[in-house]
Every structure is written in structure tokens, then in C-alpha cells.
Amino acid sequence: MRAILEAARERPGGETRVSVDAQSFPEAVAETEAAGRVPVIAEVKPTSPTTEGVREDDPVELAREMVAGGATALSVLTEPEHFGGSAESLRRIREAVDVPVLRKDFIMNEAQLDVVESDLVLLIARFVGEDLSDLVEAARDRGFQPLVEVHTREELTAALAAGADIIGINNRDLGKLEVDLGTFEELAPEAPDDVLLVAESGVKSVEDARRMREAGADALLVGTAIMDGDVRQNTETLTQ
Ligand SMILES: O=P(O)(O)OC[C@@H](O)[C@@H](O)c1c[nH]c2ccccc12
């Protein structure tokens, strides 16, 4: 994790400030609910420190399959060194699909928001620390919908204090990389009802999805279980 953060701190930002016309994620979630399906953010993750191998398929093709399988939104890793991502694949994917797209990266400063346009942008409470409020505001000023990721009660409190209204509770401890679905179950009741809650990481089966929904997840963020095998079929199974 230290290597990932060191690389993230060094990565340059954009030269000019972006201004995005974002597609509403809360509306997309409401539409999926109205259709009687489970809102899933499917993640295009060519590789990660906890996965074996790299998927070499065209990321745009994978993204299209996820949308065809019923994904409400997509998450696209743009971290190049450890997750095989790029700003360019996000740009191409966002052009090719009509669902909201989340930029998944380790953003540490305001200029890094200006690298590429997306509908949602991930801000990880653990890593941005005291800058969280400023980054939430800087993201909104550019038109992004910030998704603030938390893993502990303290981080959840900080996210709420920063005015976050879309909060992802990560079941994976980014320090130890261990996954425990109990994390979402423990923290979800602490969030007010008007916050849109996303259960992140470790959802592998329909049972896991049900468990997270019962605990109050408005949406699920799923990477590995979708990327492993037939992407469209996997998305269909988890969104049913
Ligand atoms: O592959 P999984 O267990 O379904 O997890 C997806 C997503 O939650 C995970 O990739 C993730 C959550 N937070 C992150 C922060 C950075 C990189 C990756 C992540």
C-alpha cells in the first residue's frame, strides 16, 4: 500500500481545470430499483495487488458487456502502476456507454481531479485525511459527484462532516487487504437515511449481495467477481 501511495503522491495533475456535465448516479440507482433489480457498480479492473494475472481484453468491450448485463454504473481504475488502469481507457469507456462512470484512483490533491472527466470520482477518507472537505468541494465545483470511501467509524464521521452524500463502505481493509462483509453491516446503521450507501469489495455471490442489501446497501461495487469469467453473465447474476 505504501508503494501505491508514494506513486500516487508523485503523479502529476491536469494542466487545466475540468468541468464535467455528470450523469446523476442517484437517479440511475432509483431507475434500477424501479425496475426491480439490484444497483451494481461494475468495476473494470484489469488487475490488482490481490488478483492473479491480468485481463488483456479491451476495457471498452468489458464495459459494454457489464452494461448489457445490467450494471447501473461502472467503476474504472485509472491507477496505472498497480491496477493496470489509465485515464485513456476511462475516456474511451465513458464515451462508449450511457451509464454514470466512477473514476477509481488514489487522488491526493486537487490538481489530480483535472486529469480526466468522469461522472463520479472516488475520494478515500483514509488517504486524504484532513483535506477531505476541501477535496469534496473541489470535486463538486468541477461537476463531479464525489463518492467518499470509508472503512472505520471515524472515517464515516469525517465523511459526513465533509458533507458527503454518496458514501462507499469498503469491506476491504486497505492496510491488511483482508475482506470482511461485517464491516458494512457494522457501519451502515451509523449513516443517516438520506446518504446513498455503497457496499464495496468482497461481494462474490448472490447471497453476499442479498446480505449487503439487507444491511442497507443502496448499491454494490463489485470488481473481482464480475471480472472473473463471463463479465456479462456475472453482472446479470448479481443484479437480479
Ligand atoms: O474486487 P472486489 O472485491 O469486488 O472489490 C471492488 C472494489 O471495491 C475494490 O477494487 C476497491 C475498493 N476500494 C478501492 C480503492 C482503490 C482500489 C480498489 C478499490
Domain segments of the chain: what residues?
2-8+20-239
198 lines ligand 1 (CB under 6 A): no
Give the pLDDT band (50/70/90) at residue 237. Answer: very high
pLDDT in tens, 118-166: 999 999 999 999 999 999 999 999 999 999 999 999 999 999 999 999 9
Q: How far apart are CA 202 and CA 221, in angstroms?
A: 9
Which amino acid type is present at position 222?
Answer: V
Give the pLDDT band (50/70/90) at residue 97. Answer: very high
pLDDT reported for residue 48:
74
202 lines ligand 1 (CB under 6 A): yes
Average pLDDT of the chain, as a whole number: 95
pLDDT of 66 over the 90 cut: yes
CATH class of 2-8+20-239: alpha beta
Looking at ligand 1, which residue's alpha carbon is closest to its atom 11?
A: 201
Task: Say how many Å lie between the CA of residue 10 and the centre of ligand 1.
Answer: 22
Which amino acid type is present at position 88?
Answer: E
User: Contact at 8 Å (CB) between 42 and 163?
Assistant: no
195 Cβ contact partners less than 8 Å away, ≥ 6 residues apart:
160, 164, 165, 166, 167
- Does the active-site annotation cover 89? no
CA angle 117, 119, 123 (to 5 degrees): 90
pLDDT reported for residue 76:
97
Three-state DSSP state, 19: coil
User: Contact at 8 Å (CB) between 63 and 226?
Assistant: no
Spell out the long-range contacts of 19-24 with Cβ–Cβ below 8 A and sequence spacing 24 or more: 19/142, 19/143, 20/117, 20/118, 20/119, 20/142, 20/143, 20/144, 21/143, 22/100, 22/118, 22/119, 22/120, 22/143, 22/144, 22/145, 23/98, 23/99, 23/100, 23/119, 24/100, 24/145
Task: Say how many Å lie between the CA of residue 34 and the centre of ligand 1.
Answer: 27
Three-state DSSP state, 133: helix
Whether ipTM tops 0.85, in short, is: yes
User: Contact at 8 Å (CB) between 188 and 217?
Assistant: yes
Give the pLDDT band (50/70/90) at residue 177. Answer: confident
Give the pLDDT band (50/70/90) at residue 70. Answer: very high
pLDDT of 50 over the 90 cut: no
Give the pLDDT band (50/70/90) at residue 57. Answer: confident
pLDDT reported for residue 53:
73
Catalytic one of 110, 201, 234, 236: 201
User: Contact at 8 Å (CB) between 103 and 83?
Assistant: no
Give the residue among 162, 150, 224, 223 at the shortest CA–CA distance from 188.
150
pTM to 2 decimal places:
0.96
Catalytic one of 45, 89, 118, 185: 45
- Does the active-site annotation cover 149? yes
